[in-house]
C-alpha cells in the first residue's frame, strides 16, 4: 500500500497563521509536529510503502525540509505546475506509481487533517485494503458527531465486506437536512480520503473523464527527477480540467464503496474547529496558546505568537496574534475570514501571501523595520547553505554578522566575516552569501535605496534552481 499525501491546499480559513506561502499543512497546529508530518507518521510503517507527497512548486522546499526533519523516507515530492484539484493530482500519482510497481494500492490522504485515534484509523485502513484488493474504490465515511453543515455527506447502502456500498454523495446540506441525515444513521461525513488500486482508479477515470486522463498521461510521459522532486510537463498539465475526485469518479463509478471511520477526525477547517478539538481547554472552556492573560473570558480561543495578549470580559471569541497581523472574531463567525483574505488578495497586500518572517530553502528572513528608503531584515542562513549569486539595480546593502561565520563574495573577491564584523555591498555589485560553518548564521541586513521590493533581484546562479 502506497500513501499519496495531497499537500497542495492554501488553508485560507486559518489566516493569519496560514497564508499562501505557508499554508496550514506546514504549520504545527494540533501537535508539536506539522500537520504534514503527523499525517505520515501516524501510518504503521509495516503496512505501507514510502509515501509520495504532492504539492505545488512554491512549497517544494517546505515539504522537503519537513520530511527531512522528521526523518521520513519518501518516494519523491511530485510538483504540480498548477492547481487542478484532486482528480488530476491522484491520476498523476497513480501513473507514476505504476512505473515503479506492478499495481500498488493507493491510500490517498489530505496532509491537513486531524485524527485522534490512530488505532481506529489503522483498523479502518485494514478494512479498506481488503475491499481495494477486490477492485473497489473505497472512500472513508466519518461517523458524524453533529448535524454539521460544512461537510458533504455519503449515504451508506448495503453491506460489502467490512464496508458498505455507496447509495449517493450529497452536497453540504442546510441545518434541518443535516439533522435528518444524522438521525437516520445512514449518512456519514465525506472525509476526502480514499483507497484503491492505481489501475482501477485510472480505468474508471478514463471511462468517466477521458479528458482528464489524457491530459495527465501526456503530463507524465517524461517525468524529470530533481533531487527529491519529480517534475512533469507543465504545459500539458495546465490543459487539464479542474475537477475533484468525487465529481470526476466517485459519484459516477459503480465500484464505489465506503468504510466508516470513528477516529476523532477533523479537517481543521477553521479556528472554531481548533477550539472544538483541543484537549487543552481550561475550566472556563478557553484555549490559550502563547503569552496570554485572560479575565472574565469563556469558551474562547486565543493564540499569541510573539507578544502578550490580554482579553477581558469576552465570550466565544477567537484572537490570533502574529508578527504582522491580529485577528479578532466571534467564534461563530470565523467562516467570514475568507472575505478578509479575498480583500487582502484583491488589494495585493503582502499579508495575503507572506508572513513577516519568510522561509527560503537556505533559511529565512524577518523584516523587522522599514521606511521610505530603508529596510532592516534579520537573516538566518542554515549551515552549509548559500544564497544565490545576485545583484540589485536600486538598493545597496550592509550586512552585520550577529553570530556564526559568513563567506561573502563581492565582485571577484571572497572573504570571511565573523561576529560583530560587517560588510557593504554597493548598488549594482554582484554578490553572494554562504554559511560555511556548522551552526546557523545570523546577521542583520540594512537595505537603502529608491526601491526595496523583492523583485529587484537579478540571479546569476542558484543551487535551488531559481535563476532568472
- Let me know whether 120 and 192 are in one domain: yes
pLDDT tens by residue, 306-350: 999 999 999 999 999 999 999 999 999 999 999 999 999 999 999
Number of domains in the chain: 3
- Let me know whether 57 and 162 are in one domain: yes
- Let me know whether 310 and 365 are in one domain: no
- Let me know whether 215 and 328 are in one domain: no
pLDDT at 201: 98
Contact residues for 376 (Cβ-Cβ < 8 A; gap 6+): 367, 368, 369, 370, 444, 445, 446, 447
pLDDT at 467: 61
Distance CA 243, CA 197 (A): 20
**Residue 454 covered by a domain:** yes
Q: Write down which residue in 336, 365, 391 finishes a domain.
A: 336
Distance of CA 153 to the CA centre of its chain: 24
- Let me know whether 107 and 125 are in one domain: yes
**Which three cell numbers, joined as nine digits, stand for 334?**
470565523
- Let me know whether 323 and 417 are in one domain: no
Distance CA 36, CA 18 (A): 14
**Residue 352 covered by a domain:** no
- Let me know whether 127 and 12 are in one domain: yes
pLDDT tens by residue, 366-424: 999 999 999 999 999 999 999 999 999 999 999 999 999 999 999 999 999 999 999 99
**Which three cell numbers, joined as nine digits, stand for 78?**
511530485
The Cα-based distances of 19 to 67, 89, 122 in angstroms read: 20, 22, 31
Domain range for 294 is: 271-336
- What's the CATH code of the domain at 150? 3.90.550.10
pLDDT at 100: 64
| Helices 210-219, 86-100: inter-axial angle, 10-degree rounding | 50
Cα-Cα-Cα-Cα torsion 392, 379, 61, 415, nearest 10 degrees, comes to 70
- What's the CATH code of the domain at 412? 2.60.120.10
pLDDT at 468: 47
Q: What is the mean pLDDT of the chain?
A: 95
Q: Write down which residue in 266, 292, 324 finishes a domain.
A: 266
- Let me know whether 212 and 282 are in one domain: no
pLDDT at 101: 64
User: Model's pTM, two decimal places?
Assistant: 0.91
Q: How confident is the model at residue 464 (pLDDT cuts 50, 70, 90)?
A: confident
Encode 113-133: b = buried (16+ Cβ within 10 Å), e = exposed: bbbeeeebbebbbebbbebbe
Rounded average pLDDT over 166-171: 94
Rounded average pLDDT over 147-155: 94
**Residue 347 covered by a domain:** no
pLDDT at 47 over 90: no
- Let me know whether 205 and 67 are in one domain: yes
- Let me know whether 23 and 75 are in one domain: yes
Amino acid at each position: 500500500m502506497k500513501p499519496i499525501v495531497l499537500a497542495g491546499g492554501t488553508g485560507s480559513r486559518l489566516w493569519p497563521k496560514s497564508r499562501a506561502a505557508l499554508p496550514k499543512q506546514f504549520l504545527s497546529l494540533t501537535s508539536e509536529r506539522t500537520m504534514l508530518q503527523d499525517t505520515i507518521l501516524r501510518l504503521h510503517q509495516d503496512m505501507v510503502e514510502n509515501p509520495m507527497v504532492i504539492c505545488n512548486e512554491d512549497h517544494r522546499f517546505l515539504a522537503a525540509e519537513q520530511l527531512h526533519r522528521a526523518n521520513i523516507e519518501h518516494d519523491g515530492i511530485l510538483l504540480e505546475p498548477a492547481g487542478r484539484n484532486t482528480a488530476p493530482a491522484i491520476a498523476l500519482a497513480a501513473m507514476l506509481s505504476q512505473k515503479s510497481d506492478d499495481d500498488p494500492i493507493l491510500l490517498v490522504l489530505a496532509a491537513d487533517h486531524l485524527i485522534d485515534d490512530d488505532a481506529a484509523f489503522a483498523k479502518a485502513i485494514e478494512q479498506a485494503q481488503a475491499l481495494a484488493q477486490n477492485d473497489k474504490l473505497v472512500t472513508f465515511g466519518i461517523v458524524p458527531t453533529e448535524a454539521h453543515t460544512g461537510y458533504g455527506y455519503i449515504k451508506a447502502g448495503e453491506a460489502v465486506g467490512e464496508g458498505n456500498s455507496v447509495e449517493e454523495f450529497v452536497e453540504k446540506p442546510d441545518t434541518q437536512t443535516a439533522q435528518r441525515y444524522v438521525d437516520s444513521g445512514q449518512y456519514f461525513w465525506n472525509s476526502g480520503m480514499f483507497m484503491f488500486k492505481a489501475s482501477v482508479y485510472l480505468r474508471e477515470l478514463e471511462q468517466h473523464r477521458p479528458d482528464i486522463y489524457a491530459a495527465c498521461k501526456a503530463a507524465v510521459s517524461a517525468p524529470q527527477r530533481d533531487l527529491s522532486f519529480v517534475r512533469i510537463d507543465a504545459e500539458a498539465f495546465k490543459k487539464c480540467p479542474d475537477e475533484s475526485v468525487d465529481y470526476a469518479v466517485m459519484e459516477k463509478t459503480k465500484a464505489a464503496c465506503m468504510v466508516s471511520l470513528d477516529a476523532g477526525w477533523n479537517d481543521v477547517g477553521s479556528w472554531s474547529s481548533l477550539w472544538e478539538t483541543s484537549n487543552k481547554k481550561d475550566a472556563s472552556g478557553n484555549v490559550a496558546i502563547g503569552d496570554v492573560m485572560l479575565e472574565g473570558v469563556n469558551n474562547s480561543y486565543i493564540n499569541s505568537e510573539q507578544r502578550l495578549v490580554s482579553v477581558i470580559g469576552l465570550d466565544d471569541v477567537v484572537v490570533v496574534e502574529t508578527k504582522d497581523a491580529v485577528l479578532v472574531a466571534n467564534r461563530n463567525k470565523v467562516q467570514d475570514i475568507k472575505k478578509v483574505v479575498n480583500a487582502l488578495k484583491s488589494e495585493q497586500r503582502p499579508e495575503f501571501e507572506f508572513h513577516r518572517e519568510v522561509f527560503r530553502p537556505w533559511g529565512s528572513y524577518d523584516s523587522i523595520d522599514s521606511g521610505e528608503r530603508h529596510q532592516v531584515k534579520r537573516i538566518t542562513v542554515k549551515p552549509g547553505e548559500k544564497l544565490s549569486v545576485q545583484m540589485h539595480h536600486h538598493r545597496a546593502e550592509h550586512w552585520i554578522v550577529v553570530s556564526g561565520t559568513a563567506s561573502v563574495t563581492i565582485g571577484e573577491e571572497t572573504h570571511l566575516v565573523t561576529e560583530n564584523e560587517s560588510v557593504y555591498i554597493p548598488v549594482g555589485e554582484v554578490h553572494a552569501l554562504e554559511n560555511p560553518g556548522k551552526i546557523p548564521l545570523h546577521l542583520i541586513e540594512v537595505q537603502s535605496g529608491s526601491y526595496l521590493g523583492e523583485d529587484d533581484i537579478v540571479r546569476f546562479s542558484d543551487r535551488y534552481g531559481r535563476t532568472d
